[in-house]
Structure 1
Amino acid sequence: MNTLLIQRVRLDGKETDILIEGNRITRIAPEIAPGDARVIDGSGKAVIPPFYNTHTHAAMTLLRGYADDMELFTWLNDYIWPAEGRLTGEEIYAGTRLALLEMIRSGTVFFNDMYWYQPDAIRAVEEMGMRAAIGLLYISGSDGAVLERNRKCNEELLAWNGGDSGRIQVAHAPHAVYTVSEEVLRRVAQEAQIDGHVIHIHASETAREVEECVAAHGMTPIAYLDSLGILGPRTVLAHAVHLSDEDIEIIRERGAYISHCPCSNFKLASGQFRYRRVVEMGSCRFTIGTDGCASNNNLSMLEEMKFAALSAKNESGSPTAGRDGDIFRAATRTGAEAFGIDAGIIAEGKLADLVLVDLDNPLLVPDFNLTANLVYSADSSCIDTVVCDGRILMENRKISGEAEILAEARRVCAKIRSFREGGAEA
């Protein structure tokens, strides 16, 4: 069993040691004898839970800056989907590795992914040691059936059946009510009842989506999904910007989670999440997600937390909305809970997911309130060391294989540049 000892690190303002045996935190106390453990010097650092990114499209790192400043459906139909349709599995692998590199550098150990060529994404996750929920992607063609490209990859993902690491889980990922037929959504709901997988879907992201759903089905997207059996305590609703009071009640009653993605919402002008009404008054469970790099344009949960807090204050007109502790909890503990991961807090017996932050970084000085600093001022330069499932992913800001990951991503991006140069101008 691999053993790791972090010495003289600050936890909740007090200096202590943390012993990790295998993939669990087994002891937290001062001056633990190292024995044969690998030792990390935590002097001048604080230990915090890492981040759990509950909505993204990881390999869209390859499309960062490819098409910006556009209306959502123009962006999707004319640029993003045509480019994605020309990517290969090997290129998705390269883009996912680039995403994992970025996430690790900013303190994230888990992401909930909805994207193409899932087996290639899994290969990247296994190699780089992170956690992930990889979605069975459902997008319907004109006949209402799942696209053949999706169906084949979904079959491969089901055949893979979770692997051996225990760090990767399978989720159901129907794209949205406007891209997935009623028949397929009903089938997803039935399958999720049997297999217990999380259902991850875009929902009520734009006013247009809501208007078209009401016109087609006589119900909002939330009410429509609920009528099909999609909503429950294992459902993650991405964005959920345009919610009626009735929608909020349904989400609370069903125990579903919302993945709040403020940076993407602002960039695509989708609207502002009703934080005070949904969370503080409506008692809905919420987490934080980054969305993909083509609509954010980064994967930093630190930045996402700040935008979530500021969005809550601006939308409500109250500086007391979106308190730092609530936002931090959503990005850490609640994100882990939404996917059944026994982590998200630093405590004995929990899975060994943790981050060391550099207290000498100027962005963390003075240290009146570490949580406030992390939410309002920190960036990825504050992240020193990242541990996931007891494995060191980054130490002293060094990640193994980084140069090769960047070189391969640049090679793929050169090909993608040719797509745009040969077609529509961005």
Structure 2
Amino acid sequence: MPNLSDTPPSRLQLRRAVTSSFLGSVVEYYDFLLYATAAAVVFNKVFFSALDPLTATVASFGTFATGYLARPLGGVIFGHFGDRLGRKRMLVLTMVLMGVASVLIGLLPTYAQIGVLAPVALVTLRILQGIAVGGEWGGAVLMSAEHATSRRGLWTSFTNAGAPFGMVLSTGALTVTASVLSDEAFLSWGWRIPFLLSVVLLAIGLFVRLRVEETPVFEAVRDRTTRAPLLDVLRTHPKVLLLGVGVGLSAFVAQGTLTTYLIAYGVRTGFTRQTVLNCLTLSSALAVIGIIGWSALSDRVGRRPIVVAGAVLMAAFGFVLFPMVNTGDTVLLAVALVLGQAVLHPMMYGPLGALYTELFATRSRYTGASLGYQLAGLGAGLAPLLFAQLDASAGGTATTTISLVIAACCLLTVVCVLALRETSRQDLTTDTPAVRDSGVAGTTV
């Protein structure tokens, strides 16, 4: 292993940027997805205890969705200043905001203690989480992409890989806590421990992030930044932004289904909470490999073939997912989650980091990439809420309808991907968007 002191500055900074982006993503998504798991197994009992179980689950998923609704706002806010002042400063702020919000969730009084103020405070902190993660992703991806001189798919994939790794840590923390405590103790105070532990991850993440320099691509245009990055995105390439949202939508709908909705559905079907969490932890760990692997392959064959293949396969998989869970067989539950989350979902999700980066000009790249990604990300927040509502309305028999919704989103992704040109060979040092409105459809670059 070469000594870092002998490593050229550009390569050393790339390594630090990739490490920082991965750890930052782990911290952000540990906190953000910890809420998702808690929403499925804890919050309906702790913050919505006055409601019947199914309605409480819907309400719990509703607060979960508010975080996703706030993510585009975070993308616009931090994207604006990230495009004007630099990527690094914004990433430090997003990490601190997420860490503080998560610790405060762990300190919240319950509904039994302060009544309706408890869910109100919960929603407020969830919105802050959403704003933080909305600003984090775009900056983290850009730090890796704009430091890299080649293999952008590989290097940016570590940011996306941080999401399932954060899920491993969050579900693992809840699993360990729940396994050593009685159900009564876990629901009373034990669930708070994983939220409070986020302060440790925050300290580690900040230590690494503060050592990364600003990207050379941004430094090259620092004197030519636009005063209104959002207006630049909306005025210069609005069609590209809309197509970008369509490209990512199905990946997020699948993510929300596999990592959030399926927890509550599996428990209701008859699996123990621990069994579902164990299977989810396994699939999340393997998803890290899947994301990095498919993203690296996209550097060789292009972003479009990988994403299209993943969307087509996920559309078909949606119709066998629930029958596999309904068997009540733990092995089939594990296979369903591993196949869905660790194999098929990474095909759609992994290359998105590089793809969104390549769609926009440097002067408004933080804003454009963040907004496109976070608008698509609404699918992960709204899908569990929509599916819970459909299931409640149909008395628990809406799985075919849910599968049709997933397939429709996948079809939209295929159409949008094919409408974009291939971007994997785009030079980010040119201050022009990778795909112009005048050439959205058609041939590859």
Give the TM-score category using the shorter length.
under 0.3
Tell me which protein shows more helix as a share of its residues: 2
Question: Normalized against structure 2, the TM-score is what?
Answer: 0.24
Tell me which protein shows more strand as a share of its residues: 1
Question: Normalized against structure 1, the TM-score is what?
Answer: 0.24
